[in-house]
Amino acid sequence: MLNRRHALALLAGSAAACRAPSGSEEPDVVIVGAGSAGIASAQTLIDAGRTVLVLEAMGRVGGRAFTESQTFGAPFDVGCAWLHKSDDNPYTDYARTQGFTLQPHEYDLERVYFGNQPGNAAQVNAAEHEIAEAIMDAPSDVAASTVADIDTPVEEAAGDYLGALDMAVDLDELSTFDYANADDLEPNLLCAEGFGSIVRRRAGGLPIRTGTPVRGVRYDGPGAIVQTDDGEIRTRAVIVTASTGVLAADVIRFTPELPADTRQAIDDIPMGMLAKIPLQIPRSVLGLDPFTDLMLARDGKNDLYFLCHPFGYDLMIGFVGGDLGWEISRAGREAAVDYAKQGLVEIFGSDAANQVTKGALTPWASNPWTRGAYAAARPGRYSARATLAQPIANKVFFAGEALAGGLIQTCGGAFRSGQATARAVHTALG
Ligand SMILES: Cc1cc2nc3c(=O)[nH]c(=O)nc-3n(C[C@H](O)[C@H](O)[C@H](O)COP(=O)(O)OP(=O)(O)OC[C@H]3O[C@@H](n4cnc5c(N)ncnc54)[C@H](O)[C@@H]3O)c2cc1C
């Protein structure tokens, strides 16, 4: 996520067959997913005196907040990296008190290239502001492409930066209302140890069971029954924080089926794509200052953005988003790394690619527990977010980045959504 508007399987068994996977717990609330929203829900409910159990499909906590240090010998945020709206972000104070290293970083572009020709970054930034204003002035919820004037290469680059590289969808798939109702995300911070490390620490001490996919939720009897490969867990309410991509894929079987308007809402808020292609390259090679924002604007929607050497690391982190993000993700790691290296060659000449010692591609498109990067409402379907936020039978509640109000798509927003949903569940339980 780059730049937001800084201008402004199992069928339900009978009750008798119900057994807990291990132990004999019957928590007040089961939370599906140990990402930012799940962690916040769990902590909030525990603070309110409720018992909870968090079930996480992956073998680790954090979900789309994940810092990985093995590949490059430096912390690399596979998912979220920026603490957006950091003066009102639930992770900022926590990170400070926990001793994490935070660094302000906004992303007005500093360098832009049109092919191998240097462009005027200020012009691209200004064009992006104009496009943002046009989108926010739109009187109805339509595709952003229908209200934005994109005539020149500068405007095309600006539109791609705002759409694909920020909102994770191209402008023709971006809802004007989604964009207009999203908060200004400045001021932004980056974390030297990685945002994923902050989220992981915050999960410490919570009752989380990893490697435990939830296969079904039965809510037709008293309370609810959550089904896993290890057995079933009785509970009073369930908070589901799985992405809309996971929900749309029917990975979790609900009994009875979810209401038609909830199902429709899930389909109306599909996942967008933002893929990172980190390249390991000594920072002395290209002479780029740490934290430089660099964009290679290409014909069509083939733009590539690099965050250069954050914290002085020997890393240039390439980003591709929207349709290109999906395409590159499908093509796989080798093709993605070639694509990013080719970008460096276009700008800096052929020797640049020879200096790249390693590259990677983030796996959010193929990860069965995310199925995308973050959710974007279809044009005209902004209201689906409010529909999905409605609890089902006062027992099944949804939370997560797709339901984060002004902080949609963000990790801090997911946390806030988790807190708010937990409070609603606490009230519903009486
Ligand atoms: C490439 C990328 C860059 C991003 N950049 C930023 C950024 O800079 N700043 C920012 O704030 N945000 C950013 N985001 C968005 C941010 O990471 C997400 O909005 C946030 O982490 C989502 O949290 P969540 O709890 O809603 O969902 P998740 O993190 O997806 O958590 C849901 C959890 O549920 C689990 N799950 C799913 N299905 C099941 C099941 N059936 N049973 C059990 N568990 C299940 C999943 O494994 C997952 O762990 C970025 C995301 C990506 C992918």
CB burial of residue 59 (10 Å; 0-12, 13-18, 19+): exposed
Q: Over the stretch 86-105, which tens digit does the pLDDT of each residue have?
A: 999 999 999 999 999 999 99
Q: Which amino acid is at 45?
A: L
Q: Is 53 in the pocket of ligand 1 (CB under 6 A)?
A: no
* Across 319-346, average pLDDT: 98
Spacing, Cα 40 to ligand 1 middle (Å): 13
Question: What is the number of domains present in the chain?
Answer: 2
Q: Is 12 in the pocket of ligand 1 (CB under 6 A)?
A: no
* Across 309-338, average pLDDT: 98
Triad 371, 373, 377: Cα angle to 5°: 95
Structure tokens at 75: 């912390």
pLDDT value for 322: 98
pLDDT value for 393: 97
Rounded Cα gap, residues 378 and 103, in angstroms: 34
pLDDT value for 2: 59
pLDDT value for 300: 83
Residues 145 and 113: beta-carbon distance below 8 Å: no
pLDDT value for 1: 58
Q: Which atom of ligand 1 is nearest to the CA of 414?
A: 26
Q: Over the stretch 227-284, which tens digit does the pLDDT of each residue have?
A: 999 999 999 999 999 999 999 999 999 999 999 999 999 999 999 999 999 999 999 9
Could you tell me if 157 and 291 lie in one domain? yes
CATH number reported for the structural domain that contains residue 422 in this entry: 3.50.50.60
Structure tokens at 333: 């790691």
Could you tell me if 178 and 288 lie in one domain? yes
* Across 354-377, average pLDDT: 98
DSSP3 helix / strand / coil % (the chain, rounded to 5): 35, 20, 45
DSSP string, 105-161: -----SEEEETTEE--HHHHHHHHHHHHHHHHH-SS--BGGGTS---SHHHHHHHHH
Spacing, Cα 238 to ligand 1 middle (Å): 18
Q: Over the stretch 182-194, which tens digit does the pLDDT of each residue have?
A: 999 999 999 999 9
Q: Does the pLDDT value for residue 11 go beyond 50?
A: no
Of 359, 387, 406, the last residue of a domain is 359
The residue nearest atom 20 of ligand 1, judged by CA position, is 411
Could you tell me if 266 and 315 lie in one domain? no
Q: Which domain holds residue 396?
A: 15-64+198-270+378-429
Residues 297 and 113: beta-carbon distance below 8 Å: yes
Could you tell me if 233 and 286 lie in one domain? no
Spacing, Cα 368 to ligand 1 middle (Å): 12
Q: Which amino acid is at 210?
A: T
Rounded Cα gap, residues 419 and 430, in angstroms: 17
Q: Of residues 17 and 325, which shows the higher confidence score?
A: 325
Q: Provide CB contacts within 8 A for 259, sequence distance 6+.
A: 392
Could you tell me if 384 and 412 lie in one domain? yes
Nearest-CA neighbor of 232 among 51, 70, 14? 14
pLDDT value for 299: 83
Query: DSSP 3-state assignment of 212?
Result: coil
Rounded Cα gap, residues 125 and 175, in angstroms: 21
Could you tell me if 288 and 168 lie in one domain? yes
Reported as a pLDDT band with limits 50, 70 and 90, residue 308 is very high
pLDDT value for 301: 84
Q: Of residues 78 and 12, which shows the higher confidence score?
A: 78
Radius of gyration of the chain (CA): 22
* Across 363-387, average pLDDT: 98
Paired with 307 in beta bridges are 293, 317
Q: Is 194 in the pocket of ligand 1 (CB under 6 A)?
A: no
Q: Does the pLDDT value for residue 137 go beyond 50?
A: yes
Among the residues of 270-332, which ranges form H helices? 283-286, 322-331
Spacing, Cα 63 to ligand 1 middle (Å): 5
Could you tell me if 226 and 348 lie in one domain? no
Spacing, Cα 350 to ligand 1 middle (Å): 37
Q: Does a cis peptide bond (omega within 30 degrees of 0) precede residue 207?
A: no
Q: Is 243 in the pocket of ligand 1 (CB under 6 A)?
A: yes
Query: Over the chain, what is the mean pLDDT?
Result: 94
Ligand 1 pocket mutation pick from 64, 78, 91, 253 by most atoms within 8 angstroms of CB: 64
Q: Is 246 in the pocket of ligand 1 (CB under 6 A)?
A: yes
Structure tokens at 314: 């020997």
190 falls within a domain: no
Spacing, Cα 285 to ligand 1 middle (Å): 34
Q: Is 213 in the pocket of ligand 1 (CB under 6 A)?
A: yes
pLDDT value for 107: 79
Q: Over the stretch 19-65, which tens digit does the pLDDT of each residue have?
A: 334 434 799 999 999 999 999 999 999 999 999 999 999 999 999 99
Could you tell me if 321 and 388 lie in one domain? no
Q: Which atom of ligand 1 is nearest to the CA of 362?
A: 1
Could you tell me if 406 and 295 lie in one domain? no
